[in-house]
Amino acid sequence: MTLRAGFIGLGNQGKPLAANLVTAGFETTLYDIVDAPVRELAARGAKAASSPREVGAASDVIGICVPEDDHVRAVMLGDDGVLAGAPSGTIVAIHSSILPETAIALAGEATSRGISVLDACVTGGAARAQQQQMTYLVGGDAATLAKAQPIFETSAVKIIHAGPLGCGAKLKLCINLLTYIQWAAAYESYQLSKAVGLPDGVFEEAGASNGQITPLMQTYLGTHKIPEDARHSEPVQELMRGHMNIAEKDLAWALQLARKAGVSLPVGGLVSQLMARLYGVDDDGRR
């Protein structure tokens, strides 16, 4: 039987993931609170839904890629949520970076209705999603993962079964911690290279040559080369503020996970206070 795909949350990362499903030929039903990306993908053959409930009723495997834990809860548990429409046997894959306990609690609600949940976090960023080069970090039952795998493979370069439910979220928080610490190091090193008068581009060339500056870090550093006037414009500030909010949430969850595990993360704690600076957001309260 050919799987029917559903996808909820067509933002910076969710839209290319959903687009890959359409390109691969899956019958795909989509929902987002913003109409434009839904219309765009519907023009390419996807079906537009009026609610998460409608996505649930029309899909065998549903991806959810929304910003925060509360958004995932609303999408799944609301009166018009996925669980209100999905039949027994449906698989819900949560791609959002959430707390492990959120995934476990939502799975408890879903299991009582015969619905399976995977915390199928993704890492790689929007550009790699477009290139079908994402890494999936999946927690949950191995048999459920095997059923959902054809859906994940439309965007994946690698699918890692991290362990039982909640382990995908744990692994993603560890990876996020590493990412933001790397970006802080890249930012400070880049600022120093400018301050001491090094020619434009030689810092990135040297760092890329010895493997210390990854392609993702190069993309990040590119945001600091936007002309000053443009960088302080409201459209750019709004975009960067959105990235900053997600980063602060991700690091807060990593620090909470560490506290519960009895692990000290002094560098992570410091970096969590630097997100406005790292994203160039004009917010004196965060500097």
Query: What is the percent of the chain with per-residue pLDDT over 90, rounded to a whole number?
Result: 91
DSSP output for 38-80: HHHHHTTT-EE-SSHHHHHHH-SEEEE--SSHHHHHHHHHSTT
What is the pLDDT, as a whole number, of residue 217? 87
- Mean pLDDT, range 247-267, rounded to an integer: 97
Do 112 and 176 lie in a common domain? no
- Mean pLDDT, range 238-244, rounded to an integer: 92
Query: What is the percent of the chain with per-residue pLDDT over 70, rounded to a whole number?
Result: 99
What is the pLDDT, as a whole number, of residue 62? 99
- Lowest-confidence region among 57-66, 164-173, 234-243, 251-260: 234-243
- Token code pair at residue 9: 């949350």
* Residues classed as catalytic: 172
Do 192 and 276 lie in a common domain? yes
What is the pLDDT, as a whole number, of residue 248? 95
Per-residue pLDDT band at 286 (split at 50, 70, 90): low
CATH code of 222's domain = 1.10.1040.10
Residue 284: pLDDT over 80? no
- pLDDT (tens digit, 9 = 90+) per residue, 42-79? 999 999 999 999 999 999 999 999 999 999 999 999 99
Per-residue pLDDT band at 1 (split at 50, 70, 90): low
**Closest alpha carbon to 46 in 13, 16, 18:** 18
Do 129 and 192 lie in a common domain? no
- Mean pLDDT, range 167-174, rounded to an integer: 98
What is the pLDDT, as a whole number, of residue 209? 95
Residue 287: pLDDT over 60? no
Number of domains comprising the chain: 2
Per-residue pLDDT band at 125 (split at 50, 70, 90): confident
> Which of 163, 195, 223 is the endpoint of a domain?
163
Measured between alpha carbons, how far is 255 from 174 in angstroms, rounded to an integer? Answer: 10
- pLDDT (tens digit, 9 = 90+) per residue, 193-234? 999 999 999 999 999 999 999 888 888 898 888 898 998 999
Residue 231, exposed/middle/buried by CB under 10 A (0-12, 13-18, 19+)?
middle
Helices H / strands E in the chain, number of each = 15, 8
What is the pLDDT, as a whole number, of residue 283? 83
- pLDDT (tens digit, 9 = 90+) per residue, 2-44? 899 999 999 999 999 999 999 999 999 999 999 999 999 999 9
What is the pLDDT, as a whole number, of residue 105? 97
CATH code of 110's domain = 3.40.50.720
> Which of 126, 142, 163 is the endpoint of a domain?
163
**Domain assignment of residue 276, given as a range:** 171-286
Helices (H), 97-233: 100-111, 125-130, 142-152, 167-195, 202-209, 215-222, 228-231
Do 59 and 124 lie in a common domain? yes
> Which of 117, 143, 163 is the endpoint of a domain?
163
